C-alpha cells in the first residue's frame, strides 16, 4: 500500500501516519520526494482500513497495490488461466468454448428430455434448467424442486449431457450437488456469503453469476468466498447488470470478459439471454461474446418459447440454437478457439 501525503504535509503528520501503520503491525517506509512525501507500507494490506488512513491529517490518498482477492487473482496462478471441467471433455478456460443451453425452468420430465435432446442435437455441451427458481414474484412458478432435479438427472441419463442447475439456499447445497454436475449461483444470491461458502465446501464446480448491481471488484471478492472455503472450481458468469437503459432487460457488459481476464485466472462465461432479455438479440450477443474472448456461453432455449413457464421472451428455439452454434464455431476459429460438436460423445 502507498500512502500519498498532501503537498506541504507537515513532518508531524507524516510521523503520525507512520505510527498508525506500525500500530497495525506493518512496516512504514517514508519516501521524501521533491514535491511530495509518500509512505510505502510493507505487509498484509488487508489489515489496514485505507479509508481510515485517508482521513488522517495531511493524507491525500491511499493506493492498494495488492488485489483484495488473493486466490482469485491472476497472480495466484502466475498468470496462467484455470481450466475447469464439469464433465469429461467439457471444460471452461481451455481452447473449447462450451455452450450451456436449455430452458429457464424444468417444466416436466417430457419437457426437459425434449430440451436435452435438442441441446444435444445442436452440438451444445451442457444442459441447463432451473429446478429451484428465484422468482421476483412470490406467486410465480417456483420450480419443481427435488422432482425437477430428478427430471434433469433422467435427461442426463438419456443424452449424456452434464447438467447445470441453480441452488438457492445453503441448506439445499447438499441436495442439489447430489444431482448436478455444476451448481449455479444466481445473480440475486451473488452476495449471499453463506451460500457462497456452502458451495465452497462441496466439490462440484460452481457457475457463479455476477450480481446485477455488483462492481467487478465486489464480484471477485465474493468469488473469493467460494475459493477460500475450499472449492477451486469457480466459473464466473456475466449475465448483465442494471443500468438506466431499458431497451434490454439488463445491460450485458461484454467488456467484463477482457477485464476479468486481466484480473483473475477464473474462466468467464457470458449469458446473453438474461443479459438482453430478448431472444432476437441473443445470437448476435453470443457471437460478440465469443469474439470478446468468453470461455463459455449460457443460453436459454425452449422448444416452444411462447408457452415457456419462465423467461420465454429471451429463449431461442432449438433451430436458432443449432444455427447459432454453426456460426459460433466460425467466430471461435477466428479467435483461436473451438465450439460446436467437436467433443467425443461417449
State the Cα–Cα distance between residues 322 and 68, nearest whole angstrom: 41
Residue 61: CB minimum distance to ligand PEP, A: 36
Q: Which helix (H) or strand (E) holds 38?
A: strand 37-42
144 binds ligand PEP (CB under 6 A): no
Q: How many CB atoms lie within 10 A of CB 194?
A: 13
**Residue closer to ligand PEP, measured from CB, 2 or 141:** 141
Q: How many CB atoms lie within 10 A of CB 152?
A: 31
| Greatest pairwise CA separation for the chain in angstroms | 76
134 binds ligand PEP (CB under 6 A): yes
Region near ligand PEP per CB under 6 A, out of 38-46, 107-115, 183-191, 262-270: 183-191
Region near Mn ion per CB under 5 A, out of 114-122, 186-194, 261-269, 308-316: 308-316
State the Cα–Cα distance between residues 211 and 214, nearest whole angstrom: 5
Decide which of Mn ion, ligand PEP, none touches 209; Cβ closer than 5 to 8 Å per partner kind: ligand PEP
Total residues in contact with ligand PEP, by rule CB under 6 A: 9
For Mn ion, the binding residues in 175-214 under the rule CB under 5 A are none
Q: Are 77 and 14 in contact (CB under 8 A)?
A: no
> CA angle, 187 as apex, 300 and 181 as ends, to 5°?
60
Residue 92: CB minimum distance to Mn ion, A: 20
**Residue closer to ligand PEP, measured from CB, 1 or 220:** 220
The x, y and z cell numbers of residue 4, run together, are 500519498
Tell me the HSE value of 153 on the side-chain side, using a 13 A CA sphere: 12
- Binds ligand PEP by CB under 6 A, chosen from 20, 125, 204, 209: 209
**Residue closer to ligand PEP, measured from CB, 104 or 196:** 104
Encoded one letter per residue, x for contact with ligand PEP by CB under 6 A and - for no contact, window 295-334 reads ----------------------------------------
- Binds Mn ion by CB under 5 A, chosen from 277, 285, 311, 318: 311
- What secondary structure does DSSP assign to 91-146, as a single string? EESSSB--EEEE-SB---HHHHHHHHHHHHHHT--EEE-BSS---SSTTS----TH
Decide which of Mn ion, ligand PEP, none touches 239; Cβ closer than 5 to 8 Å per partner kind: ligand PEP
Encoded one letter per residue, x for contact with Mn ion by CB under 5 A and - for no contact, window 88-127 reads ----------------x-----------------------
State the Cα–Cα distance between residues 34 and 195, nearest whole angstrom: 51
Q: How far does Cα 81 stand from its chain's mean position?
A: 15
148 binds ligand PEP (CB under 6 A): no
In the complex, the residues that contact ligand PEP under the rule CB under 6 A are 104, 130, 134, 186-188, 209, 239, 274
Amino acid at each position: 500500500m502507498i500512502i500519498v501525503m498532501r503537498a506541504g504535509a507537515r513532518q508531524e503528520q507524516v510521523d503520525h501516519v507512520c505510527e498508525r501503520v506500525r500500530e497495525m503491525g506493518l512496516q512504514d517506509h517514508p519516501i521524501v520526494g521533491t514535491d511530495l512525501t509518500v509512505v510505502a507500507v510493507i505487509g498484509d494490506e488487508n489489515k489496514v482500513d485505507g479509508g481510515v488512513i485517508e482521513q488522517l491529517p495531511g493524507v491525500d490518498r491511499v493506493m492498494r497495490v495488492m488485489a483484495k482477492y488473493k486466490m482469485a487473482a491472476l497472480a495466484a496462478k502466475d498468470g496462467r488461466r484455470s481450466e475447469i471441467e464439469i464433465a469429461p471433455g467439457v471444460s471452461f478456460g481451455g481452447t473449447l468454448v462450451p455452450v450451456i443451453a436449455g430452458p429457464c425452468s424444468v417444466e416436466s420430465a417430457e419437457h426437459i428430455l425434449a430440451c436435452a435432446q435438442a441441446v444435444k442435437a445442436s452440438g451444445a455441451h451442457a444442459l441447463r434448467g432451473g429446478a429451484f427458481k428465484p422468482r421476483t414474484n412470490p406467486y410465480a412458478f417456483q420450480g419443481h424442486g427435488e422432482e425437477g432435479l430428478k427430471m434433469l438427472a433422467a435427461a442426463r441419463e438419456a443424452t449424456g449431457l452434464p447438467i447445470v442447475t441453480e441452488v438457492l439456499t445453503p441448506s439445499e447445497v447438499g441436495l442439489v450437488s447430489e444431482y448436478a454436475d455444476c451448481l449455479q449461483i444466481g445473480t440475486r444470491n451473488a452476495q449471499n456469503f453463506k451460500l457462497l461458502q456452502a458451495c465452497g465446501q462441496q466439490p462440484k464446480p460452481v457457475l457463479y453469476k455476477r450480481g446485477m448491481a455488483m462492481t467487478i471488484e465486489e464480484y471477485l471478492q465474493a468469488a473469493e468466498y467460494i475459493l477460500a472455503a475450499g472449492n477451486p472450481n469457480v466459473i464466473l458468469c456475466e449475465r448483465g447488470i442494471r443500468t438506466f437503459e431499458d431497451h434490454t432487460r439488463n445491460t450485458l457488459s461484454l467488456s467484463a470478459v477482457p477485464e476479468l481476464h486481466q484480473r483473475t485466472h477464473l474462466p468467464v462465461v457470458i449469458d446473453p439471454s438474461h443479459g438482453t432479455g430478448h431472444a432476437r438479440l441473443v445470437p448476435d450477443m453470443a457471437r460478440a461474446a465469443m469474439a470478446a474472448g468468453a470461455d463459455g456461453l449460457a443460453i436459454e432455449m425452449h422448444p416452444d418459447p411462447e408457452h415457456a413457464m419462465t423467461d420465454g421472451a429471451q429463449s431461442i428455439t432449438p433451430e436458432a440454437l443449432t444455427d447459432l452454434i454453426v456460426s459460433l464455431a466460425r467466430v471461435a476459429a477466428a479467435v483461436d478457439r473451438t465450439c460446436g460438436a467437436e467433443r467425443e460423445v461417449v
